[in-house]
A and B are shown apart, each in its own frame.
Chain A
Amino acid sequence: MADSVPMDAAQRGNGPFIWRFLTWHRVAHGVVVLTFYTLVLTGLPLRFSCAPFSAGLISLFGGVQTAGIIHRIAASMMVALAVVYVGYLSARFWRARGTPHAWKWGPDTLIPHPRDFVDFFKQWVYFFTGRNRPTFGRYSYLEKLDFFGAVWGFVIIIASGMLLSFPQFFGSFLPGWIFNVATVFHGEEALLATCFLFVVHFFNVHVRPDKWPLDAVMFHGRATVDYLEEEHPDMMPQVRANLDAPVSTRPRVDHRAPPPTRADSLIAATFGFALLATGFAILGMIVWAFAFC
């Protein structure tokens, strides 16, 4: 393993490993991933009820009724995560009130920044000229898009999903046509989210030729200094200042980390490839469905 190039892009290159994501981030991502896949697989047959695979796929989940229950359980977990996440962010904002914190405004922030629009523009210039590739801080505009795209998706999907789950309650004070509208918003937003994740996110993060075939940084939480210099150079001065700190086995952002163990790598690769394969299969089903619907 040591001599060959690791499959995991986050383990390539030289330099010590650095903690990039906390356990909490990874768990949150994991919950989103697992609930999202469940929701897509149980919801896709309804969105494309005319597709030839739909009846078979829904029967894998025990038929329409049972699949509906599974869909609602996964949705409840997703809503629970959203609630916890809003609480977590509120706490962070509250604690950082009045201080010009770097994570609010600077190379470390996840909050959209005028610079992101400049980076986006520069990236297109780079595509055409091959020069002046923009550099990124802790989160590039693509990662911010992933995050806020998910926030938008959560709002639309949860709101419309709630309406459709409790029609009798909402129907007691809202006009019935709201369910027609909710059906359209729920289905189309789900389609947008699915296509975005399995086309754009998968490419940007995993199957881009310089990362191919997998970037497991979100699974085991760490990456090499070389990887970070490549992907997130603007956060590195701060990281380098920390490099002399002792290795921290408990994830602490920007601290030196022990290299992922063989088990860590194996679990990350197993999950990663299973999710990639399922994602591309779902994408294939969507294309297939469009040929029929």
Chain B
Amino acid sequence: MDEPTRVLARIGLGVASWRVLAAALALILAGMPGGVAAQATDDRACLACHDEPEFLRSQVATVAQARSLHVPPGPLGTSGHAEITCAECHQSFERFPHPVAAETLTCATASCHTSEPHPEWEGSVHARVQEDDGLPAADCAECHGIHDVAWAEDLRIEGGPAQRRMNADCVSCHYEQAYTPADPHGDSTSCWGCHAPHATAEVTEPEAWVSPQNQLVTCAACHQEAADSLATDVHGHALVDQARAQLHAWPPSPSDSIAPSCSDCHGAHPMPGVDREDFQVGMVERCATCHTHDAETYYYTYHGKATRLGSGVSASCAQCHTAHSVLPSDSIRSSVHADALIGTCGECHEQARAGFVLYDSHPDPHDPERNAVLYYSLIFMHALLIGTLGVFGLHTVLWWIRIWIDSRKGAAGADAPGGSHG
């Protein structure tokens, strides 16, 4: 800033002030009877100030306020609102200085979007949060923006820039749910693809798209094959039965949920890719939350031990039981049915034969009914272990004590240490 400008600034007439005067002039001209029509008061007059961050900053107290007043023309020009002028929404802002009580029309009050998603949104969690938590409600503008509002068609492009931008808006509040780019859903899925665009509900609400019983439909939109398969296996049946029970129970109690939904196994935020070793390894722990005894006996085997130590190669639950066609071993369609075992085990053990599959993948050495040989082998080995270590452990302790007693006697002059043999 050169010296004359600084002087001007001190008396309140900076370069920016000239813009104020110019804008005021334009507004006055527009308001003059018989002058330029109101519509012709095009956005250039508004942008004269509102595209000048430095000027805006000089007029208000904080940077945040200045930023909220800043309307860069670039995004505005390509947005869905490019065709409407500022004054259509910002009515009664024509005058300058702007009247303090001037109101801006909202999306609905502007009679543009009244018939659209508004009713769905009104019942959603985003409309309610205001009352419940004192948090700001996420209204139209929170997600859609105003000046940079995206075209609906652009928002439907999976992984497109409009979707990414709106995801970023969701994450600005739901930052704990942010996906990393490594997440399979991280770069090509919109938040509302799973959580519904306007009827967003909490996971615990039965009507939520991501509620356990609705996941079979919501996830199936993309993962049709897995959902079809799941619908006929034990987990899918349990899920459907549970949903049916809840349908008839009032009030619904989703907290009783025991049937595993998609997210119970795959997680949601984050959702690790199924090809990742840590997903396979961690899967056992997730299955174990219900199948405790099966997990316990699995850990008696090499498969279980190696998996617990982080081997992604050793067979874990889904390698034998499949992921989405889990069926009890007495079902003819089950991967662990007696007739299917040679094929199932044979996926890793090429030479699996009828005898080989007599291996018990869930042995219980404490159950003589199920594993008699194992049961008595363990008793024998434990008897040997405890017997040997007991006798010779005691031998060790007694020897120690004897040498200690002898050395005290020796110190008293009775005998040389250890010289008592013979």
Given the known interface contacts A59-B310, A209-B403, the answer about A203 and B396 at a Cβ–Cβ threshold of 8 Å is yes
For residue B173, CB closer than 8 A to chain A, the reply is no
For residue A15, CB closer than 8 A to chain B, the reply is no
CB contacts between A and B, total, < 8 Å: 164
For residue A6, CB closer than 8 A to chain B, the reply is no
Of residues 340 to 363 in B, which have CB atoms within 8 Å of A's CB atoms?
349-353, 355-360, 363
CB atoms of A195 and B389 under 8 A apart = yes
Scoring B350, B360, B396, B409 by chain A CB atoms within 10 A of each residue's CB, the highest score goes to: B396
For residue A196, CB closer than 8 A to chain B, the reply is yes
For residue B308, CB closer than 8 A to chain A, the reply is yes
Considering only CB atoms, which chain B residue lies closest to A189 in the complex? B381
Q: When each residue 57-80 of chain A gets 1 if its CB lies under 8 Å from chain B and 0 otherwise, what string results?
A: 011000111000000000000000
Given the known interface contacts A45-B309, A54-B309, A200-B393, the answer about A192 and B403 at a Cβ–Cβ threshold of 8 Å is no
For residue A238, CB closer than 8 A to chain B, the reply is no
**Contact partners of A167 in chain B: CB under 8 A:** 349, 356
For residue A180, CB closer than 8 A to chain B, the reply is yes
**Contact partners of A292 in chain B: CB under 8 A:** none
CB distance from B144 to the nearest CB of A (A): 48
**How many chain A residues touch the partner (CB < 8 A)?**
56
State in angstroms the CA–CA spacing of A192 and B381 once bound together.
9
Considering only CB atoms, which chain B residue lies closest to A58 in the complex? B309
CB atoms of B358 and A176 under 8 A apart = yes
For residue B279, CB closer than 8 A to chain A, the reply is no
Considering only CB atoms, which chain B residue lies closest to A45 in the complex? B309
Return the contact of A192 from the options B355, B363, B377, B385 (Cβ within 8 A): B385
Of residues 181 to 213 in A, which have CB atoms within 8 Å of B's CB atoms?
181, 183-185, 188-189, 191-192, 195-196, 199-200, 203-204, 208-210
For residue B319, CB closer than 8 A to chain A, the reply is no
Q: When each residue 393-422 of chain B gets 1 if its CB lies under 8 Å from chain A and 0 otherwise, what string results?
A: 101101111111111010000000111111
Given the known interface contacts A64-B306, A188-B385, A192-B389, the answer about A168 and B356 at a Cβ–Cβ threshold of 8 Å is yes
CB atoms of B356 and A171 under 8 A apart = yes
CB atoms of B422 and A135 under 8 A apart = yes
For residue A32, CB closer than 8 A to chain B, the reply is no
Considering only CB atoms, which chain A residue lies closest to B392 in the complex? A200
Given the known interface contacts A131-B420, A204-B396, A208-B403, the answer about A196 and B389 at a Cβ–Cβ threshold of 8 Å is yes
Given the known interface contacts A59-B310, A180-B371, A200-B393, the answer about A188 and B381 at a Cβ–Cβ threshold of 8 Å is yes
For residue B90, CB closer than 8 A to chain A, the reply is no
CB atoms of B309 and A171 under 8 A apart = no
State in angstroms the CA–CA spacing of A188 and B358 once bound together.
22
Query: How many B residues touch the partner, as a band?
Result: 35 or more
Binds B, one of A21-29, A108-116, A122-130, A214-222: A122-130
Binds A, one of B34-42, B69-77, B267-275, B296-304: B296-304
State in angstroms the CA–CA spacing of A233 and B406 once bound together.
20
CB atoms of B388 and A196 under 8 A apart = yes
Return the contact of B355 from the options A175, A204, A210, A233 (Cβ within 8 A): A175
Return the contact of A63 from the options B310, B353, B392, B395 (Cβ within 8 A): B310
For residue A270, CB closer than 8 A to chain B, the reply is no
Q: When each residue 26-46 of chain B gets 1 if its CB lies under 8 Å from chain A and 0 otherwise, what string results?
A: 000000000000000000000
CB atoms of A46 and B359 under 8 A apart = no
Given the known interface contacts A181-B373, A184-B377, the answer about A49 and B305 at a Cβ–Cβ threshold of 8 Å is yes
CB distance from B181 to the nearest CB of A (A): 26
CB atoms of A49 and B299 under 8 A apart = yes
CB atoms of A180 and B360 under 8 A apart = yes
For residue A94, CB closer than 8 A to chain B, the reply is no
Q: When each residue 280-311 of chain B gets 1 if its CB lies under 8 Å from chain A and 0 otherwise, what string results?
A: 00000000000000000001111011101111
**Contact partners of B309 in chain A: CB under 8 A:** 45-46, 49, 54-55, 58, 63-64
Return the contact of A172 from the options B355, B359, B395, B403 (Cβ within 8 A): B355
Return the contact of A174 from the options B310, B355, B409 (Cβ within 8 A): B355
State in angstroms the CA–CA spacing of A134 and B399 once bound together.
13
State in angstroms the CA–CA spacing of A46 and B393 once bound together.
25
For residue B384, CB closer than 8 A to chain A, the reply is yes
Return the contact of B371 from the options A50, A58, A172, A177 (Cβ within 8 A): A177
CB atoms of A209 and B396 under 8 A apart = no
Given the known interface contacts A167-B356, A183-B302, A189-B381, the answer about A172 and B351 at a Cβ–Cβ threshold of 8 Å is yes
CB distance from A40 to the nearest CB of B (A): 15
State in angstroms the CA–CA spacing of A84 and B308 once bound together.
37
Chain A residues within CB distance 8 Å of chain B: 45-47, 49-50, 54-55, 58-59, 63-65, 123-124, 126-128, 130-131, 133-135, 145, 149, 164, 167-169, 171-177, 179-181, 183-185, 188-189, 191-192, 195-196, 199-200, 203-204, 208-210, 230, 233
A-B contact pairs, 19 of them (CB 8 A): A55-B310, A58-B310, A64-B313, A64-B314, A123-B395, A171-B352, A176-B357, A177-B371, A180-B373, A184-B377, A192-B385, A192-B389, A196-B388, A203-B399, A203-B400, A209-B403, A210-B407, A230-B421, A233-B422
